[in-house]
Structure formats: C-alpha cells, structure tokens
Structure 1
Amino acid sequence: MQHQSLYRRFRPQRFAEVVGQPHLVRALRNAVREDRVGHAYLLSGPRGTGKTSTARILAKALNCEALTDDGEPCGACDSCTAVAAGTSMDLIELDAASNNSVNHIRDMTEKAALVSSGRRKVYLLDEVHMLSAAASNALLKTLEEPPSHVVFILATTDPNKVLPTIRSRTQQYELSLVGADEMAPHVRAIAEAAGAPVEDAVVDYVTERGAGSVRDALSALDTVLAAGGIPDDRADVNALVQALARADLAATLIAVAEATAAGVDARDLAERTARRLRDMFLVGASVEPAELPQADIVSARELSDVMGRRRNVRALEALGSALAQMPQSADRRLTLETSLVGLLADEALGAGAPEAAPPASAPARGGTDGAAPPVGGPAAARAAMAATKAPPSLDAPR
C-alpha cells in the first residue's frame, strides 16, 4: 500500500480540527449556523496554515445533509464524503497559479451560473494573487453580481497583490502562523494517531522545523519517522552560527565548505542560518518567538550573549545581501562566502582601529563588537528577516 503523507492523511475535516485559527473558525461556524454565509471570502496567510482545508470544511458544511447544532458538518452524509474524497460536484477547486488566464475565469463563471445538485456551489481559487490582470477583472465582474447559489473562496499567501476592488467585495480573514504552544500538542497527537508515539526531543525538532506551518511540521514529522530518528540537519547551521558568533573567519569558511560538500544548497544554508540569527536577535531583545520551542529559546539566548546585538544585525545584513544576489548568481556558494568574508573582514578592521570618540552632545555607544559599517545595510537585514518567515519545505498542495 502506498504511503500517504501525514499532512494529507490527517487534514482537518471539521472546524474544530483546524489548529491555531480560532477567530476564523468562530466566524465561519457562526455564519453557517445562522445562515449568514457571504458570497465571497478571502483567506490569506503563510503556507500550510489551513486556508484550503478550512475552505473545504466550509464547502462541506454548506451542503451537509445532517449539520450539527454548532455548525459542524456531520462528515458522514453523501455530500460530506464526496468533498473528503475529492469527488464532489459542488466544490470546484482552481489553482490560479496555473489557470490564470481570462479564459479560465470566464469558463469558471459560465459554469457557476448552472444550478448545483446541493444547496450551494463552492468555488475555491487558490493563490488568487497569481491571476492575470484581465482574469482579475473578469473575476471582479462576477463578484459584483454573483449567482445566489454560489460561494467564492479565494486563498492567497500575498493578499497585497490581489486587486483592492476584489478585496473590498469579500469577507477577509488572515490566518497566522501557529505558535509552539499549540503546534507541539498537535504534533504529538498526530504521531500517536499514526501509531508512532515520539519523544519530547522529536516534538521540539518538528515544531522548530515547521516554523508555524502545520503542513511543514507534519512533513518534518514524516521525515523523522522515515529516518527512524532526528536527522542531523541542524549541525551545519549550528557550526556556522557559532563561527559567526566568535567572528572566526576560518571556522566560518570551513562550516560553509563542509555543508555544501554534504550536498546542502547554499541558499538553503543561508536561509536557515538567517532564521537562527533572527531568533537570536529577538530572544536577545527579550522577545520570545511563539513558534520556537523552549529549548531553542535557551540556546538562542546563549548564542546571542556571545555574539552581541551589533554583530548579530550585521550578520543578518550580510546574509540578506547574499540571498538578494543569489537568483542572479552562477555560484551561490561563492556569493555566500563573499558576503560572510566581507562581514568578518570588516569586523577585524573595526577591532584593529580605535573607535572615534563620539561628539560631546551624543551618548557614547556601548557594546564590544567593533564599529565597522554594516554590510548590505538595513534593506539587506530586512530581506534576511523576511526570508526567515517562509522556511523552505517540500512543495505540496494546500
């Protein structure tokens, strides 16, 4: 029998099973129970947070033949089982990333006018921000005068790219990354339901790898179960971060060389290192990321104390600069190494030259990390911080 991924096997089938989105669950459940469902919804948020799963549950509830008193689909009637199996004629899913032309949208709107077998016909448009301008305008016209029996659910990871006129005609809900306090119990429950109970160390590792994305966390759990234990895929980042914290140029280059020799892509290494540096920066500023397990918070605090805030920020700037250059680079490893060498060379120059005394009217600067100019500047630091919000994972449907 072919193995089915955990995120597909344990996809939420009821509103109560959606993790970490209480505001959305409460609103949709009340709308179903009170028969106040809108004609269009826009669900936005990071990947793997439950946008399409929630849309499918809503489609179930709208046509359920035995809806519960609290607005939950029964999960057992013909309509519910058809949605769960992907064979329902009342739920039409369209990937806007690959079906983004005006003809695709016109075809959809023409079919939407046809009467459905159930009470409501639901159209789910995933990654709706990928629609072409002409397709977006065609969709807008339909949203202005929607058929009474149709509900449109638009899902996107980038709502700012959706036409404002489309956004204004939808009920908008933003899904957020799931915190470690909710993710860890969920991971443990899924492992037990899969017949493979795991230790606390595995739960912490999977929670950290998920970085707030339920799907990414379950993909990481799949990897751990297949490998028979926690893979040693954090050693490369640990070695690089520790070398940067000590401003050790030789150790930094050795860490990059060993990671790439082991088959690690330089961009992946840079993104994961930036994510660790971001955690260190936040923890050093007395902000504990909700998606970070307690053990990782402790280690991030220790490394932050060694590295210092100034060097931490400059390292983020260097990685941000490298990540920005990599799409046009023929050698990603060289790009990463060049940025890190520039960072640590400036550190050495700053440490060797006396720091100019500040003007009498300005407060003296604290810290022991030198006074070299930042590498890449604030824009590069912002790029590195942004890269950490969408950690790499296996491509998968939502």
Structure 2
Amino acid sequence: MSLANKYRPTRFSEVLGQPHAVTFLSTVILRKAKPRNLLLFGSHASGKTTLARLYAKALNCSDVAPDGSPCNRCTFCTDVDYEDWEYDVPGTGGEDADIEAWLDGRYRKPTDWKTTVLFFDEAHEIKPKAADSLLKRVEEPLPGVAFVFATTEPRALKNTLRSRLMALEVRRLGATEAVKLLRHVAEREGIAYDIDGLALLASIKRGYPRDLLIGLDQLAGMGPITLQSVKSMFGLDQTERLIDLFLALADADEARQITILADWPEEVGIIVKWIQSFLTSVFYRDILGLDFVGDPITQSITVGRSEILGGFCRRLDVPSQRDLRPFWEPMLSFWDRPSSDHETELQLRLALFQDLVNRRLGEARSALQIGSYESKGESFGIAVPAPAIHPQTSSQSLVEANEKIGQPSNEPNSLDIEGVRAIVNRASALTQATGYVINAAFEISSYPGVKAPTTVARVQRFVRELEEQAAGRPSSLATITLLEAGQFGPVTARICAHLTQLDTPGAQSRVQEWFDAFWQADEGVHDFDRRLSDVKRGMKFHWAEVMGLCAGLGGDSFYPDVGARALMKNLRVQKTRWRQPVAIPYRVLTFTGLVGQDAIEKAASEGMGFLSAYDDRAWRHIKSEWEPKEWLDRNKEFALRRRQIEDLEIFGGDPVQLEEKRRQIRASWLEVKSRPRRWMPWWGLEVDS
C-alpha cells in the first residue's frame, strides 16, 4: 500500500492545517444538525476527498468520537464502499445525461444507513445544463441525502449552484506542518533522514499532503533522505539558471537577462517564485547575516552567491554586502504588491522588475529612506510602547486594564490631556490591529438626585450585558467608557464601542430592541441615547464619536488652560461640542476588550507597534482614514514575522541556539515606520505644528 493511502487521515484530529474546515464539520456532527451540502475547494492533493469521506463516515457512524470523528469500528465505518458514491466528473462525464444516469438508483432516501452523501469530484467540469438540473435536488434534497462537491476552480462552477453550498477552503500545509508530516511518517516507517532533506522535499511538493507522501515513497528506496538525494531525485537544475539571472542583474546586462529568461523552460509564475525566494534568502542570510530558515532550495545555493553580491557592490558603489540593504529592500518591496497569476501580467511585472534593478535602484533607495524618517514626537510602538499605549499621568484619570468601570479614587478626576491622547491612540490602534471601527455610541444618565455610585453600578451592568451580547464571538467587543458630571447635574457615562454583531444583516434592529429593553427595565435611568453606525459611515462615525469623548477635556481648569484649548482646535472638535465637566472621585476613563491593555500589547507583539498621527502632531491626518490601509499591511507583515519564528521549530535542536536565532530574526525586523506599506504615510512631509 502506498504511503499516501496508508496514512490518509481517519479522524478529524489527524487532518493537518485545516482548523476552520475541521471545526465546522465536527460541529455539524456533534450537534446532530441537518447534514449540510458542501463545496470543498482548494489546490489538488490538498485533502478535499479525505475530508469528504470523513464527513460521510461521521454522519453515519453509530459511535461518534468526542471530537465528531467516526469510530472506525462500526458496520458503516468498516464496510462502506466509497467508490460507489463518488462521481469523478472529468472521467465519467459532466453532461446532464451522464450525471442523471449516475444519480438514478443513488438519489434516494437511505434505508441501511442514516445519510447518503453524494460526492462530485472535480466539480468545475459539470456543464451548465447539468448544474441547473442539480439545483432543485441540492436546494431541497430528499430526507437523509447530502451533496458534497470538490473543485480546484470554484469560480468555474455555475454561480447558481455554488451559492447553495457551504464553501470550505482546503489549504495546502505550511512549511512547519509539511515537515512534521514527513518526519512522522518517516519515523513510523523506519526511513532514515536528515531534516534538511525533508525540508527540501516539503518545499518541492509545496505542502500538498498527498504529493508529500508520494515523494517520500519515491525516495524511501534510495537510502537515507538527504539534501543531495532529494536534489538528485527531482533534478533541481533550476538553481543554475537562477544564479545566471542574478549575475546578469548584478551587472545590469539586459540582453543576457532576456536570453536566460527565454531559455528557462518553466512558466513565468514559477520563475517569479524562484526570484522572490532567492531575494529573501540573500537578504536575510548574506546582507543581514542571519541564520534564517527560508526556502531550503535557495538556502542550499552556495556557488555564485559571492559573485552576485560582489557585482551589485561594484555597480552600486558600496563597500560591503551589508551596505546593500537599502538597495535590496526596494527589490523585496516590488514583489509585495498583489498581482494576478495571469501569464501576460506576470511577464509585464517581471519586465518592470528588470527595469527597477537595471536603472532605478538609486531612486527606489531614496524613496525608501523617506519612509524611515522619525518625527520629533514620541513613537506609538517600537521605541516607547508603554507610554504611547497606556500613558502614565500624575492624575488618576486613567484606569488600569481590566479594572471595573468607575473605580473609586482618592482624588477627584476629570478627563485630562493624557486621557485624550489615550482615547485617540487606542481608537486608532483598534482599526490598525483588527480592521474594526467604533460602530456604536451610548450616553446614560440618571435622574437628578440619584447618587453617583448608583449610576456607576448601572453603567457597569450595561457594559457587562454588552459583553454577554458578544458571547460566542471571540475578540469582538471593544469599549471606551468616560464618566463625567456637570456643575449641578448627575454623573453621565459616554461609551464608544465596537460590536461585531452589528456587522451582520438585520442586526441593528435586534440590537436596538435590546437597548430599548435595557432602558425601560431600569427606572432610575433618566436619559439613554444610542447611535449605531452602518458600513457606509465607517470611519466617519468612528472619529465623530471618538472626538465626542475628547470634547469632555478640561474640567474646572479648561478655560485658563491654553494647552487644552489648542488641543481641541488641533483635533478639529467643534466648539459647540466642548463641555466643562467637574472632577469626580472616580477613575473616569476605562478601556476594555480589543482596546484594553492586554489586547493592545498582544497586537503590538513581534515588534508590530502602532502608528500615531497624534504623537507625530500630524493633526490633519488623525481623521484621514488611513488605518484600514495600515491594517492590511500589518496583517501581511505580522503573518510573515510569525511564520519566520514558527519555521525555526522545523529544525528543533538546542534550545539556547534556537532562542539566539529568534533573537537574531527579531533584531532584523524593521521598525514601525520603516515597515513596507502600500499607502503614502505622512512622515517626510510637512508635519502640523
């Protein structure tokens, strides 16, 4: 039996790299819900058929495991003949008549088991007329019948059919998971190996589980699996062409580059991946001097590296390879922009890359240096993260993370300048870190004569019920709560929040009903105001409500305080919104959930500090809606950094050496303002005074 069949997962816990799909399928099984019709999509050999079979077995198993997996012991688990219920569309035919003939006798209410699962493999080959014929059956299947479609091209499946299916993406394995799989099987089979050989095999097979095990099968009879044996088996002569191309790039020899590319017998998409991988390898290993775990094939290249680096140094007139960093970063950033996989567009991108390397590296270096400009203000991130994220102040206006709203204080407090800074920075960080915005705002005040502790208790209960509303939606709630009191009035709570449930269709009316019920149930609430945003208002609503909180700056000292006045003008807070609250014996400002201290620090881990237009005194940019664009760039950079650290685990080894490698990698990461971005930031331009 082949290794691919022998080690095909038989339980959900054995499926690697598909947490979302596995969680969904096991939940359907454990809840004994009505079987769902599925569309499993992803690359070939990624495990779509395996998931379909596990799903079918678990739906019919008489002794399901605690994680929803089939028991693999009952009659159905041991006797089922999958092939009788699986339809290979390209091999059997995608026409209406072909599929109708196959369904005849199979599309019926089951008698010997609970659910008949009809599986169509390579479903994108189903013809439009056949897809139309399937619609009624899929939309209103017979009792006990479920459909599963698998495809590598989901968009090729007719939209009317696709829209009636629950789509689950099946991804290829990451480098770490791929090597773990190969190592597990090799050890079980007694196959000798070195880790570099397995890592190279994982790279060649690109993380596809079936292909990984087929490759291991091929190598098993050749003796120990080493880097050299893998290279010999799979004929890795591409590296020679890669070195020749980079030598030509170093010399800016365009004619030779064109000849090499024309003679390279690979699709342009593959050539681009080779270029990207080698650029990364040279950057970390040779320019930064790090023992970086990247693509094993390009990492194994030794011949030609020094000549390439020497050529670039001579042409760019720099003394050493370490000085190539400002020239290498534009080459890396060039490929950071998204593009399609269309052959013609990739050819154009490759031509533009050659033009960059041959003629424009000096210009790109100058543009990159503008991006590393540091303003005179404090940095909200790398340099001094604690003050920027959670400013310290002599007053007690700020509450520690995770403390209750309205903690009693020994000193009277009202919102001060450091509090305004914290509000603006954390509201900005919310969107930078998560893509979420403030989408709800509330004001709660009690009748005159109601004592402050009673009002504070009501506000605490309200926020607690907000948290309960968010239950089941992990990391979905953020609240900024400000307590203040007028000269003769009761305490008022102003709350800005992000409620993820508002992003779902029809949710606003349900949330409004709950708010109304809360207000009507509490007879002591004198006034209760709510404002809910929709998707279109987005950042405009976000900043309007945040500035509404900031308008409570100043207390008794506001009018003689020139700094407070100037700040309100810089923040463009309308005078009509300015308030003059008095100090009260409570900590008045609280951040919870996604803007709480723990969440902010977690989001800023791995050197991923936040930008702050406030700290840079870039007042015009505070409300210019740059945060959603920064969020996209942060996501990509954060994923890259996490993968670099995780990839170290492939090789195991001495813990002290591993920690030193982690330290080296972290030391190489760019600071907050030097990270690659696809939008134009404000530094290097004129900063507001």
TM-score relative to the length of structure 2: 0.41
Query: Structure 1 residue 170 and structure 2 residue 174: aligned?
Result: no
CA shift, 1:194, in A, is: 2.2
| 1:32 to partner: Cα distance | 0.5
Residue 119 of structure 1 is matched in structure 2 by 114
The alignment status of 1:95 with 2:94, answered yes or no, reads: no
Three-state SS of the structure 1 residue aligned to 2:16 is coil
Greater Cα offset, 157-166 or 231-240:
231-240
Q: 1:221 to 1:77 in 2, by over 3 A?
A: same
Is the CA contact 2:281–2:294 (under 8 Å) kept in the aligned structure 1? no
Question: Residue 46 of structure 1: which of 39, 43, 48 is its match?
Answer: 43
State the shift of 1:346 in Å: 7.9
| Aligned: 1:199 with 2:198 | no
Aligned to 2:273: 275
Is the contact made by 1:79 and 1:88 (CA closer than 8 Å) also made in structure 2? no
1:131 deviates by 0.6
Q: Which amino acid aligns with 2:31?
A: E
Supply the distance in 2 between the matched residues of 1:107 and 1:170 (Cα, whole angstroms): 23
Matched-pair contact (CA < 8 Å) for 2:196–2:296: no
1:1-398 paired onto structure 2 within 5 Å: 4-83=1-80, 87-88=81-82, 92-98=85-91, 99-110=93-104, 111-228=106-223, 229-232=229-232, 233=234, 235-247=236-248, 266-267=265-266, 272-280=270-278, 293=294, 295=296, 298=299, 306=309
* Residue-by-residue CA offset, 1:242-278 (whole Å, 9 max, x unaligned): 1100117769968997x9xxxxxx237x664333123
Alignment CA distance shift 1:142-1:282 (3 Å): farther
User: CA offsets, 1:185-235, max 9 Å, x none?
Assistant: 111001122231421122111111121211222222222223433233464
* TM superposition shift of 1:82: 2.6
Identity %: 27
1:321 Cα offset (Å): 11
Does the Cα contact within 8 Å between 2:269 and 2:341 map onto a contact in 1? no
Counterpart AA for 1:181: T
Q: Does the 8 A contact of 1:207 with 1:293 survive in 2?
A: no
For residues 46 and 178 of structure 2, the distance between their equivalents in structure 1, rounded to whole angstroms, comes to 11
Unaligned runs of 5+ in 2: 224-228, 285-292, 313-327, 370-689
Shift of 1:116: 4.0
Following superposition, the deviation at residue 146 of structure 1 comes to 0.6
Q: CA deviation at 1:179?
A: 0.6
Q: Please, what is the CA RMSD of the aligned residues?
A: 4.2
Alpha-carbon distance in structure 1 between the residues aligned to 2:55 and 2:353: 53
In structure 1, what is the Cα distance between the partners aligned to 2:82 and 2:368? 64
Gaps of 5+ in 1: 260-265, 287-291, 326-335, 368-398
Could you state the TM-score of these two structures normalised by the residue count of structure 1? Answer: 0.68
CA distance in 1, matches of 2:37, 2:189: 36
Question: Which is bigger in relative contact order (C-alpha 8 A, separation at least 6)?
Answer: 1
Counterparts in 2 of 1:21 and 1:303: CA distance versus 1, 3 Å: farther
C-alpha distance in 1 between matches for 2:365 and 2:186? 55
Q: Distance in 1 between matches of 2:74 and 2:341?
A: 55
Change (3 A) 1:277 1:11: same
Counterparts of 1:240 and 1:199, CA distance in 2: 27
Equivalent residues, number: 323
Which is worse superposed, 102-111 or 123-132? 102-111
Write the deviation string for residues 266-291 of structure 1: whole angstroms up to 9, x where unpaired. Answer: 237x66433312334566899xxxxx
Kindly name which structure, 1 or 2, has the bigger radius of gyration based on alpha carbons. Answer: 2
The 2-side partners of 1:309 and 1:226 are apart by 43
* Cα distance between partner residues in 1 of 2:134 and 2:189: 41
